[in-house]
Amino acid sequence: MIDGKIIGELEKSALEEISKAVNFKELENARINYIGRKGKITSTLRAIGKIPEEKRPEMGQLINDVKIKVSNAYEAKNSELSSGLSDKDPYPGDPTLPGRKNWQGGLHVLHKVTKEIKEIFYGMGYSLTEGPDVELDYYNFEALNFPSDHPSRDAQDTFYINRDILMRTQTSPVQVRFMEKNTPPVRIMSPGRVYRNETPDPSHSAEFFQMEGLYVDKNVSMVDLKNDLTFFVKTYFGYEAKLRFRPHFFPFTEPSAEVDMSCFVCKGEGCSVCGKTGWIEIMGAGMVHPNVFRFVGYEQDLYTGFAFGMGIDRIAMLKYGINDIRHFLNNDLRFLEQFWRQKGWE
C-alpha cells in the first residue's frame, strides 16, 4: 500500500544516495535506482492506480513533488561533479604534488635572545622593568655620576633632542628611575634599545640593545655578582663557558669590571673570532657607587648592590655565530628566517 510514510522514506533515501555520490558512476546508479524507467519512485507513481480512488490525487501529488525534488538534487550534483568542486571527491587534484605551506613569520633573533636571557634571570628572582628610549640627561648621565663637562661622558656620545633630553646611551638610567620609586631589596632587569653616535661597522651600530641588571640589599657583595653572572653564562652557553672579570672604570660603579666570556669557538685556545685572546667581552658590571645611592636617597651605610649591563646583540652574535652586528637591522629575510626554524625557549 502506498502512503505518505513510504513516500517520505523513498525521498529520504534517494536524496541521501545522490548526496553521497562522489563520482558520475555512483550518481548515475542513484538516478537509475529512483527516477529511472524502472526506478523506485517511477514505479510507485505507476502503481497509483492500485490505491483507492479518493486517495489518488493526494498521493499522486506527493510522489510527483518527490520526483521533482530528487531530479533537482540529481541535476545539482551532476553540475557539482562536472565543475570538480565536490569536496567529497577523493581525488581533487594531483595527489603526488608536494603540499603548499603557509608563509609564517617569527620573532626577530634579538627579541628571541632577549626572551631567553629574561627567562634565566626570572629564574634567579629578577623582575622586569622598563624605561624610556628618549631620556633626560639627568637620568642617563647626571644621577649616574657623570657630571656635565666631565670627560667620562665622551665615551658615550649620543643624539640630543635638546640640552636636557637625549636618546639614552645605556639602560643604566632605569636603575635610577626604579630606585627613586622603590626601597630595597631591589632585584630587577631591564632590557631595551640604546643609542650612540657611532659609525656603523661589523661590531658597532648607532642603535643596539642592552640588558641591565640591578640588585640592592643589605650585604650584597661582588661574590653575588659573580654568582649570578656565572649562572647566567653557564645556563645560556653551556657548562664549559667561563667568565673573567677585568678591572675597568664606570662612573656609577666602584669597583667596576668588564666581563669576558671564554671564546665559544676555540674554547679559550685563541682564534680569529676572539682576536687570539681566547676571551670575548660581553658586559660591564660593578658595585653600585655610593654617589648613585645618594642621588636616589638610599642609605649608603646600610645597603650595597651590584649592577651589570650586557650587550644583547653581542650575546646573540656569540650564541648564533653571527659575524656582523649590522645584520640585525638590515631587515633581510634570508638572515632573519634562519632563526625562526631553530628551536627557542619560547
Site residues (CB under 6 A) for ligand PHE? 170, 172, 250, 253, 256, 284-286, 307-309
The residue among 120 and 174 lying less far from ligand PHE, judged by its C-beta, is: 174
d(CA 250, CA 300): 18
**Residue with nearest beta carbon to ligand PHE:** 309
The residue among 74 and 250 lying less far from ligand PHE, judged by its C-beta, is: 250
The residue among 274 and 287 lying less far from ligand PHE, judged by its C-beta, is: 287
CB–CB of 294/260 below 8 Å? no
As measured in angstroms, the least distance from the Cβ of 256 to ligand PHE is: 6
As measured in angstroms, the least distance from the Cβ of 298 to ligand PHE is: 16
SS3 content of the chain, % helix, strand, coil (to 5): 45, 20, 35
As measured in angstroms, the least distance from the Cβ of 212 to ligand PHE is: 6
Q: Do strands 127-128 and 186-195 pair parallel, antiparallel, or not at all (unpaired)? A: parallel
The residue among 232 and 308 lying less far from ligand PHE, judged by its C-beta, is: 308
d(CA 247, CA 225): 14
The residue among 129 and 172 lying less far from ligand PHE, judged by its C-beta, is: 172
As measured in angstroms, the least distance from the Cβ of 334 to ligand PHE is: 31
Residues in the chain: 346
Cross-strand bridge partners of residue 78: none
Go through 59-82 and write b for each residue having 16 or more CB atoms within 10 A of its CB, e for each that does not: beebbeebbeebbebbeebbebbe
As measured in angstroms, the least distance from the Cβ of 285 to ligand PHE is: 5
d(CA 68, CA 62): 10
The residue among 293 and 308 lying less far from ligand PHE, judged by its C-beta, is: 308
As measured in angstroms, the least distance from the Cβ of 175 to ligand PHE is: 7
